[in-house]
Amino acid sequence: MRWPILSINKPEFRHFFLIVISLSFIFCTTVSIEAQQQAATIAGEVKDELGALIIGARVSLKGENADDRSSVTNELGRFEFNNLVADSRYEIRVTATGFADHKAAIAANTTGRTALSIVLYPTILENVSVEKSDSDVLDPESLAGTLVISQKKLEDLPDDPDELNTELQNLAASSGSAPGSAIVTVDGFLNEGRLPSKSAIREVRVNPNLFSAEYNFPPFRGGRIEITTKPGSGPLTGSAFINFNDDILNARNAFATTRANTQTKRYGFQLGAPIRKDRAGFFVDFEKRDLDESAAVNAATLDDAFDPTSFKANIPNPKRLAIGSVRGDLQADKNHSLVFRYIFNSNTASNQGIGGTDLPSRAVDYRQTEHVFRVSETAVVNTKTVNEFRIGLTLRDTNQNAAENGPIIRVAGAFTSGGADLEESRLEETDLEISNNLITEVGSHILKIGTQIFNFRTRDLRRENQNGSFFFGGTEIVEGGKPIFISGLEQYRRTNLDLPGGVPTQFSVNLGEPIVSTSQWLFAAFVQDEWRLNKKLLVSLGLRAESQTLPKDRIRFAPRVSIAYSPDKKRIWAFRARAGIFYQRIGDALLLTAGRLDGVKQQRILIEDPGYPDPFSGGALVTPISVRRVLDPNLKAPGSLQMRVEIQRKFPQGWSMSSSYSWTSGWSQFRSRNINAPAVSEANADPLTAPRPFGTHKNILQFESAGKLRGKVLYIGVNQNTYKLFSINAGYLNFDFKTDAHGAFVFPQSSYELTGEFSPPVWHSRHRMFFSSRVNLPWSLRLSASINAASGIPLNVTTGQDNNGDGIFNDRPEITTSADPRALETDFGFLNPNVVNGNLRRNVGTNPANFTVSMNIGKTFVLRKQKERHYSLTANVRVSNLLNRVNRNGLTGVLNSPFFGRAFSAGPARRIEFGLRFSF
């Protein structure tokens, strides 16, 4: 079935679509003006000390006649209580994470309406936890999987920005996606670099309303992490910190023979102060990291006598990182506030790219610098309308240089040596981001209308594979009159000893100019309408339109809809149904690759069964095959339809439970395919003589958008955040995804037959679980723990050969019986690797599961506590991988390798880190 929205460029569907959308929005935004009631009303807005609106603040009203009310500020920072008793006295209390409570006594105006403007001020010393947003059960903040991590809750999370990012990505997986794929924004700007220093963060929101038309990324492709940094405001505040780790505190890597000589030092400071009280302030932070780490190499190689041996070593790969930022806040006048922010990021690293089966000769040195400039302006147009404008510029320069230059030697399932893939690389990126959001309240509607403009400029110098690479994938030989299959390592040994079967499988080299540049624009506009029909029913409608240049694309329309209903008076139940169409942009990685390896600027040459070490030696007739990359003329942006139903139940004493079930259908998914592969058949099974559609001796590798995806996700979450003693946040996800397009750079086994390709994607873990908890212990100790567990991701079983001649070594074996003389007995049955286009499906195996427990214990010593000045010292100890579990990274899937089914690397072993922070 094809949805009409997908054929929007057809006249009949275009007219129908525009009429339906127009009528829908006219209906939703046309509201009758209710007659003024006789009862009193108390309404107002909540701001911080610089005038920025505070969304999601809890407002409680306690009346003298037991007339108690509760509400949450909306996207305009506003609240309203109707039908109050005129001339009665009330106590109002306003609370928000990261701010001191506000209390006041007021009287309901006898004229019918009392208007308030409430200012909240940041707190300095607070306890910490990770908890769910405590908002109205129908509000987007109460969605299943939505979390709010305020300034006071961040101390339980890792101090290291990389570890913090991993922790937040695991929490964002509640969207029904793989950890590590969530979109990150900082102060409303897309953030493709490193996270800010934790000391600079005021609040983190994980997975807000992902079905909002404001967002383009589908939930199954990754959740969303929205970070808000601290303003410079209030009294003088600051802190200085240091964190330390040494190898004596760490466990040995499971794949290393000895414990690595490592040390980690992280130190920095933050300082915030007003420049002019209630008008201007600044905040500055800086963090330096000295990471003396190592990579565990665990490979199967040959010794000096060309006998098989193992190679294990800890290779130092130190990193030096520095990140700092300066933020200025200005309240220009009563209705306009400005924020300026500059960010600097420097990152250098040595001996990168090694570890596992990559030997030390493959090392590269890495250096990156980044400068970010951002300006945002908030204007209060009137009491019901706010406008937000943002503009940001990012300049990023990334360099890589190989430690050694020489041909690469790849031995399937054993080791990779020689030079690095990239002999030299310099990537210059300039990203421009402009956005404007208008938020207005019209009766029972809250409308958000926005525009987004992005420009991505890239200049990429990439000297890749210009020294060539030899591949040893294993081969079949005849010994004693019988065919036997030898591994890639044995093939490499025979090549060095000039024995039968001693010929490399393939040699490849890139020739030509390695520099290419692109400039891509992305334009988007959206309208989102939150329509509260009554206290029990909330309807959200949205429409997003977007387009891009290079490649030029038609306008893509993406409608969104959601309904939330709470049937009971106590508002403890909530039911939701949401649906939306999402599109992804065509990224510049495809454009850069196709622009570089186009057959003119640069091309790749393949030689089958080459000589060694001179690929043109050996006496055999050498027929090079040229390789080039192209974009499908009909390339489209991947699209998907996602639907979700949710149920939420609040229980006494702050417990809550939520569950959701999602369906996803994707079309135009990216993959690569050799459109000029030899058409091997039973009549002509030799790839060298089989016909090709566009001429002989050339491979044309095409990026195309022809894949499909289907998926379902079940989420169950439990939360407790009101107990003073402890808090809990836990969730479980069950995934069931399948696709025949496993990535833009991933090829099917056969270019002409997709049988067996429809399988779980490479990131797919059937089961995932996360758990975090905070416990307040005696003597003011604070203990937090987190658990992350996941079943294994798929394992693709391959032969290590290219029997169909398409130039891609991803052939899979044939399911056979023990009677087959070429059969190998495996956990998947008897398999024959020496076939063309085997019938074993992709990703048939499963890698090992992962299970990690981390713990943090801390205590804050109050050195001085006065009304104007607070001094404190916080000490903490963090243990990563507390149980020292060996989380193997991935098994060898090359069938002919003697190490088939074995792992060569693992995740980090147990690490203990100490930290001190002085705050004032």
pLDDT of res. 547: 95
257-294 burial, b at 16+ Cβ within 10 Å, e below that, comes to: eeebebbbebbbbbbbebeeeebbbbbbbbbbbebbbb
Q: What is the rounded CA–CA span in Å between residue 862 and residue 120?
A: 24
Question: Beta strands 698-720 and 237-246: pairing type?
Answer: unpaired
Residues forming beta bridges with residue 523, ordered by sequence position? 453, 547
Which among 549, 507, 555, 362 is positioned nearest to 802, based on CA atoms? Answer: 507
Q: What is the pLDDT of residue 119?
A: 76
Q: What is the 3-state secondary structure (H, E, C) of 165-194?
A: HHHHHHHHHHHCCCCCCCEEEECCEECCCC
Rounded to the nearest 5 degrees, what angle is found at the Cα of 906, between the Cα atoms of 904 and 911?
Answer: 145
pLDDT value of position 131: 37
Do the beta carbons of residue 695 and residue 624 sit within 8 Å? no
pLDDT in tens, 409-445: 999 989 999 999 999 999 999 999 999 999 998 988 9
pTM, two decimal places = 0.83
561 forms beta bridges with 541, 579
Instruction: Output the CA torsion sign for 548, 554, 555, 560.
Output: negative
- Token output for 320: 């030096």
User: Nearest-5° angle of CA 907, CA 909, CA 914?
Assistant: 125
What does pLDDT average to in each consecutive run of 10 residues of the chain (920 residues)? 38 42 41 43 75 76 72 77 76 77 73 73 39 52 71 75 80 75 87 77 86 91 85 79 94 89 93 86 94 92 95 94 93 87 95 93 96 93 89 96 94 94 94 95 92 97 95 88 88 94 94 94 96 90 95 92 90 92 93 94 92 80 86 95 94 89 96 96 83 93 97 93 83 95 96 94 93 89 92 94 93 94 91 92 96 94 75 93 93 88 90 93
Burial class of residue 573 in the structure, from the number of CB atoms within 10 Å of its CB (0-12 exposed, 13-18 middle, 19+ buried): middle
Residues 238-294: tens digit of each pLDDT: 899 999 999 999 999 888 888 989 999 999 999 998 888 778 899 999 999 999 999
Q: List the one residue out of 338, 331, 329, 192 whose CA is nearest residue 272.
A: 329
Is 505 in contact with 498 (CB distance < 8 Å)?
no
Specify whether the CB–CB gap between 840 and 795 falls below 8 A: no
In 794-904, DSSP assigns E strands to 794-795, 814-816, 824-826, 829-832, 845-846, 850-865, 870-880
DSSP codes joined into one string, 234-252? SS-EEEEEEEEEEGGGSPP
Residue 462 is predicted with a pLDDT of 94
**In DSSP terms, which residues pair with 228 in a beta bridge?**
203
Residues in the chain: 920
What the chain holds in terms of domains, given with CATH numbers, is: 1-30 (no CATH), 33-120 (2.60.40.10), 140-229 (no CATH), 237-919 (2.40.170.20)
The residue type found at 859 is K
Given this model, what pLDDT does residue 137 score? 61
